[in-house]
């Protein structure tokens, strides 16, 4: 019989090896001892699983519900437990402690080594069948815990009932719970090394989570693998058009809820598929980019403080709905990028912080492990298991949902140990430098895995420093991203556009400096959510002048942006001139398009963005050589007195080119002579001052300028143009 000390430790949930105590145990003489811990049970019988015949009645060894009996004969078949509870109810159940380990030796080896490409397939909660019995496999990494239990609505959230088995080789606690099926709520109750029972933790690998403010994980099935697509790979190529519509799903559009009132309810995945995707397609965007959709407890974080990195947020429905949403995007020819956050995580009690009573996922020293800007914890990217968790997560979204790419958030904060820290507030690397060598290695690893396992997908870095070769392959010393956000271009050009036109001639370099380094990286030109929050105002309201001039400036800027080398990104609402600053708690102001004195101007801005997108897609000269210096040539960038910029965009086919001319003053420039690259006719393809867009309809007569053999701007040929006020004009030449 079992000694009393082991029984006491099982009853108070302090035993570190419950499988050595509970379940069936063969005695030296061949008999079997069966032990069960059933708090609240009056009687526990061992019965034959096939016939239901009673094999033994377990003796109660402890008042808390510990039962044990040495069977008089060896077990020759599978058994079950018949339990009679204190309230008189009865049930027959499988004994979870009779099942073998659930992790294979190979899984244990790869997890311990930190090289398991898809750890999410073996960690977390996995509905499965073991020994012919349906249930769920649970596994969680907590190497420094003294005990880990699965708790849930299937065991009264009682950490005494289902303590797990520790696989010491990899620090993973595991258990198969028969009868626990999809939809069950669960967490992990962890006792630290010093005996403290920690707040119950959500599963780091949970595939589904409760809707906030509830925080439990939910047992869910794994989405099927989405096969690679050559079509999607072509759409993500460097020479393909890429115009990205950045969206916060909770505030793009809401539906009035008569019961809830207020700002209305969120759209679910199917409603978004039926509304957002067709809108993006109609507007000519090639890609959608979603602010983080991993589960996050606080709406105001916009998803950038996720707790459930593997769990699509429950705000918009189940993961199956997200699968359908992605599929709808692809049917309509729209790529889908996700904002991904491997830089930091929040301090919520049910999350990853101090996970097993130690600084498991984060650096222990706050000089390395705490973000002062965001009050978040920083992943310890020097720990193999943490790297494995994150690399596997990136692959999970790409493979299991067919997502086209990951926009990696806050890369600059990852690359430098002194990011947003004063002297003495950071720890140098092993060589005494400021670079975070672990993070650099991690980012290279992510990009190499994506390139190898999912070559159709792309990664995009939100990186605001001069760190070299961010979008160059790792085999030539780069970080391996496909694209990098051009934050410098965004800051410079918006600063210029915010100036009164009378002062712009003194700041022409803010619009031209981006071309000094435009081909050092594969750049995306981002007008993102960060530019329309926190008191910065909307994009429209950054523009100076009266209402007409604000819209004219906005249209001229859009034209300049779409003519400039680099892929494009525009945050939702900017395309129609959202007037107020973005608020994540309510819908965009779609009513601006329908009524009010400025509705024609909002409609005009929206029509312009639609036309720019379609022209951009249909014109190889505007996108095919985005990252090659031969695809761009200045005509005139020194005409600061008139605040005019002009340049040429070329594609692979030298039989066509696009001349882009921007007038950033409210003065019509009649008879403006401009050098052009070759003789022939230059047809106006787009004029942001068109009445169709709410402009004054000034332009070159008949929209065609014929080259004259008059040398100008260093070219043998030139044209005479009437430049509209505060406008961009695109003129196409064809052989």
pLDDT at residue 76 above 70?
no
Q: Are residues 527 and 676 in the same domain?
A: no
* Within-domain flag for 347: no
Residue 17 pLDDT class (50, 70, 90 cuts): very high
Q: Which is more confidently placed, 499 or 52?
A: 499
Q: Are residues 46 and 113 in the same domain?
A: no
Q: Are residues 149 and 45 in the same domain?
A: no
Strand residue runs (E) in 354-409: 370-371, 376-378, 405-408
The length of the chain, given as a count of residues: 735
Active site residue 462: yes
Residue 622 pLDDT class (50, 70, 90 cuts): very high
Number of domains in the chain: 4
Q: Are residues 205 and 321 in the same domain?
A: no
Whose tokens are 């694209």? That residue is 483
Q: Are residues 56 and 121 in the same domain?
A: no
* Within-domain flag for 431: no
**For residue 278, what is the domain's CATH number?**
3.20.20.80
* Within-domain flag for 235: no
Which of 83, 98, 113 finishes a domain?
98
Residue 260 pLDDT class (50, 70, 90 cuts): low
Q: Write out the H or E segment, with its range, that includes residue 658.
A: strand 656-663
What tokens were used for 178? 């028969």
**For residue 66, what is the domain's CATH number?**
2.60.40.10
Q: Which domain holds residue 244?
A: 240-342+405-420+459-618
Between 94-98, 224-228, 652-656, the lowest mean confidence (pLDDT) is in 652-656
pLDDT at residue 735 above 90?
no
* Within-domain flag for 414: yes
Which of 618, 644, 662 finishes a domain?
618
Distance from CA of residue 460 to its chain's centroid? 11
CB distance 459 to 405 below 8 Å: yes
3-state secondary structure 583-596: CCCCCCCHHHHCCC
Burial of 582 (0-12, 13-18, 19+ CB in 10 A): buried
**For residue 730, what is the domain's CATH number?**
2.60.40.1180
Q: Are residues 465 and 593 in the same domain?
A: yes
What tens digit of pLDDT does each residue of 595-608 get? 888 999 999 999 99
Q: Are residues 640 and 725 in the same domain?
A: yes
Average pLDDT over residues 139-155: 97
- CB burial readout 5-39, b (16+ within 10 A) else e: ebbebbbebebeebbebbbebeeeeeebbbbbbbb
What tens digit of pLDDT does each residue of 549-597 get? 999 999 999 999 999 999 999 999 999 999 999 999 999 999 999 988 8
Residue 259 pLDDT class (50, 70, 90 cuts): low
Q: One of 203, 295, 462, 626 is an active-site residue; which one?
A: 462
The CB-side HSE value for 134 (13 A sphere, CA atoms) comes to 4
* Within-domain flag for 330: yes
Q: Can you give the pLDDT at residue 154?
A: 96
pLDDT at residue 437 above 90?
yes
* Within-domain flag for 158: yes
Residue 467 pLDDT class (50, 70, 90 cuts): very high
Instruction: Please name every residue paired with 137 in a beta bridge, in sequence order, or none if there are none.
Output: 126, 176
Q: ∠ at Cα 292 (519, 578), nearest 5°?
A: 75
Sign of the C-alpha dihedral, residues 36, 42, 46, 52?
negative
Instruction: Please name every residue paired with 85 in a beta bridge, in sequence order, or none if there are none.
Output: 41
Between 252-261, 396-405, 417-426, the lowest mean confidence (pLDDT) is in 252-261
Residue 209 pLDDT class (50, 70, 90 cuts): very high
Q: Are residues 330 and 204 in the same domain?
A: no
pLDDT at residue 71 above 90?
no
* Within-domain flag for 228: no
Q: Can you give the pLDDT at residue 389?
A: 97
Instruction: Please name every residue paired with 729 in a beta bridge, in sequence order, or none if there are none.
Output: 661, 687
Q: Are residues 112 and 82 in the same domain?
A: no
Residue 258 pLDDT class (50, 70, 90 cuts): low
Q: Can you give the pLDDT at residue 483?
A: 98
Between 225-239, 344-358, 475-489, the lowest mean confidence (pLDDT) is in 225-239
Q: Give start and end residues of each alpha helix (H) in 589-726.
A: 599-618
Q: What is the DSSP letter of 222?
A: P
Question: What angle do helix axes 105-113 and 384-400 make, rounded to 10 degrees?
Answer: 110
Q: Are residues 475 and 550 in the same domain?
A: yes
* Within-domain flag for 354: no
pLDDT at residue 204 above 90?
yes
CB distance 320 to 218 below 8 Å: no
Q: Are residues 591 and 647 in the same domain?
A: no
CB atoms within 10 A of CB 593: 17
Residue 242 pLDDT class (50, 70, 90 cuts): very high
Mention every residue, 6+ apart, whose C-beta is less than 8 A from residue 519. Answer: 565, 627, 628, 629
Question: What angle do helix axes 547-563 and 487-497 make, rounded to 10 degrees?
Answer: 150
CB distance 632 to 648 below 8 Å: yes
Residue 148 pLDDT class (50, 70, 90 cuts): very high
Q: One of 409, 531, 611, 689 is an active-site residue; which one?
A: 409
Can you tell me the distance from the alpha carbon of 570 to that of 236, in angstroms, rounded to the nearest whole number? Answer: 17
Which of 98, 127, 155 finishes a domain?
98
pLDDT at residue 256 above 90?
no
Q: Can you give the pLDDT at residue 563?
A: 98
Classified as helix, coil or strand, 363 is coil
What tokens were used for 121? 């397939």
Q: Can you give the pLDDT at residue 1?
A: 67
Can you tell me the distance from the alpha carbon of 200 to that of 209, in angstroms, rounded to the nearest whole number? Answer: 14
Q: Are residues 490 and 589 in the same domain?
A: yes
DSSP code per residue over 449-471: HHHHH-TT-EEEE---S--TTTT
What tens digit of pLDDT does each residue of 348-375 get? 999 999 999 999 999 999 999 999 999 9
pTM of the model: 0.94
List, as own/partner pairs, every contact residues 59-64 make where C-beta atoms lie below 8 angstroms and the sequence separation is at least 24, other chains included.
Answer: 61/1, 61/2, 61/7, 62/7, 62/8, 62/11, 64/11, 64/37, 64/39, 64/160
């Amino acid at each position: 019989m079992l000694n009393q000390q082991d029984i006491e430790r099982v009853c108070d949930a302090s035993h570190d090896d419950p499988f050595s105590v509970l379940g069936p145990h063969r005695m030296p003489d061949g008999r079997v001892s069966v032990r069960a811990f059933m708090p609240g049970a009056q009687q526990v019988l061992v019965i034959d699983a096939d016939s239901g015949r009673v094999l033994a009645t377990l003796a109660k060894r402890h008042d808390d519900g510990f039962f044990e009996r040495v069977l008089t004969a060896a077990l020759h078949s599978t058994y079950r437990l018949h339990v009679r509870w204190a309230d008189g109810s009865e049930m027959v159940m499988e004994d979870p402690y009779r099942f073998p380990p659930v992790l294979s030796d190979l899984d244990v080896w790869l997890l311990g080594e930190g090289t398991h490409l898809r750890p999410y397939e073996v960690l977390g909660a996995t509905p499965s069948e073991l020994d012919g019995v349906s249930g769920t496999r649970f596994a969680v990494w907590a190497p420094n815990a003294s005990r880990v239990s699965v708790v849930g609505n299937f065991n009264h959230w009682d950490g005494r009932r289902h303590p797990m088995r520790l696989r010491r080789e990899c620090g993973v606690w595991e258990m198969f719970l028969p009868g626990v099926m999809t939809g069950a709520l669960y967490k992990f109750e962890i006792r630290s090394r010093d005996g403290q029972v920690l707040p119950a933790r959500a599963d780091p690998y949970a595939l589904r989570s409760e809707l906030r403010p509830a925080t439990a994980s939910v047992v869910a099935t794994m989405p099927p693998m989405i096969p690679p697509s050559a079509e999607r790979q072509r759409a993500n190529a460097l020479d393909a058009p890429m115009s990205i519509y950045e969206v916060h799903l909770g505030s793009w559009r809401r539906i009035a809820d008569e019961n809830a009132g207020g700002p209305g309810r969120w759209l679910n995945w199917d409603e978004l598929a039926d509304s957002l995707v067709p809108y993006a397609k109609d507007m000519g965007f090639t890609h959608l980019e979603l602010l983080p959709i991993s589960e996050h407890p606080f709406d105001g974080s916009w998803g950038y403080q996720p707790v459930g990195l593997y769990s699509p947020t429950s705000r918009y429905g189940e993961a199956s709905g997200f699968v359908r949403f992605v599929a709808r995007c692809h049917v309509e020819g729209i790529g889908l990028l996700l904002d991904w956050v491997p830089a930091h995580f929040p301090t919520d009690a049910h999350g990853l912080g101090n996970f097993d009573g130690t600084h498991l996922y984060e650096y222990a020293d706050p000089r390395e492990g705490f973000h002062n800007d965001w009050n978040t914890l920083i992943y310890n990217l020097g720990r193999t298991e943490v790297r494995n968790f994150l690399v596997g997560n990136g692959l999970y979204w790409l493979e299991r949902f067919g997502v086209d790419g990951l926009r990696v958030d806050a890369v600059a904060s990852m690359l430098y140990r002194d990011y947003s820290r004063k002297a003495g507030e950071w720890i140098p690397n092993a060589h005494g430098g400021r670079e975070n060598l672990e993070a650099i290695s991690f980012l290279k690893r992510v990009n190499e895995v994506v390139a190898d396992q999912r070559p159709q997908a792309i990664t995009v870095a939100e990186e605001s420093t001069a760190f070299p070769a961010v979008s160059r392959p790792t085999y030539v010393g780069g970080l391996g991203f496909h694209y990098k956000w051009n934050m410098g271009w965004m800051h410079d050009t918006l600063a210029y556009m915010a100036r009164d036109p009378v002062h712009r001639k003194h700041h022409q370099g803010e619009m031209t400096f981006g071309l000094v380094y435009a081909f050092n990286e594969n750049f995306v030109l981002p007008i993102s959510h960060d530019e329309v929050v926190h008191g910065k105002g909307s994009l429209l309201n950054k523009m100076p002048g009266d209402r007409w001039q604000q819209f004219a400036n906005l249209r001229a800027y859009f034209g300049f942006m779409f003519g400039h080398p680099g892929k494009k990104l525009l945050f939702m609402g900017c395309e129609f001139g959202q007037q107020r600053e973005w608020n994540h708690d309510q819908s965009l102001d779609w009513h601006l398009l329908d009524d009010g004195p400025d509705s024609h101007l909002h409609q005009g801005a929206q029509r312009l963005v639609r036309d720019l997108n379609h022209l951009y897609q249909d014109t190889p000269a505007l996108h095919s050589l985005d990252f090659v210096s031969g695809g761009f040539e200045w005509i005139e960038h020194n005409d600061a007195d008139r605040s005019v910029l002009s340049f040429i965009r070329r594609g692979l086919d030298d039989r066509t080119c696009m001349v882009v001319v921007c007038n950033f003053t409210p003065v019509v420039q009649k008879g403006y002579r401009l050098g052009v690259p070759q003789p022939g006719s230059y047809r106006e393809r787009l004029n942001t001052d068109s009445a169709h867009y709410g402009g004054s309809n000034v332009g070159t007569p008949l929209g065609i300028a014929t080259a004259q053999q008059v040398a100008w701007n260093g070219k043998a040929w030139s044209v005479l143009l009437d430049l509209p006020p505060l406008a961009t004009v695109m003129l196409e030449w064809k052989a």
